[in-house]
Amino acid sequence: MYDEAVLNCFLENQEQLFPQRVAETPEEAEDFLGECLAVVVDSVHEVWEYFDEEGVDMEGADEEEILSAAEVFEVGDGRYLIVEA
* pLDDT per position as a tens digit, 35-72: 999 999 999 999 999 999 998 888 888 888 889 999 99
Q: What is the pLDDT of residues 1-16, one digit of tens each?
A: 899 999 999 999 999 9
Helices (H), 1-85: 4-13, 26-36, 44-53, 63-67
**Cα–Cα distance, 31 to 33 (Å, whole number):** 6
Angle between helical axes of 26-36 and 4-13 (0-180°, round to 10)? 90
Domain residues for 29?
4-82
pLDDT at 75: 98
Q: Are 81 and 40 in contact (CB under 8 A)?
A: yes
Residue 85 has pLDDT above 90, yes or no: no
Q: What is the pTM of this model?
A: 0.92
**Nearest 5 degrees, angle CA 20-CA 17-CA 30?**
80
Average pLDDT on 13-39 reads: 96
Q: Looking at residue 25, what is its pLDDT?
A: 98
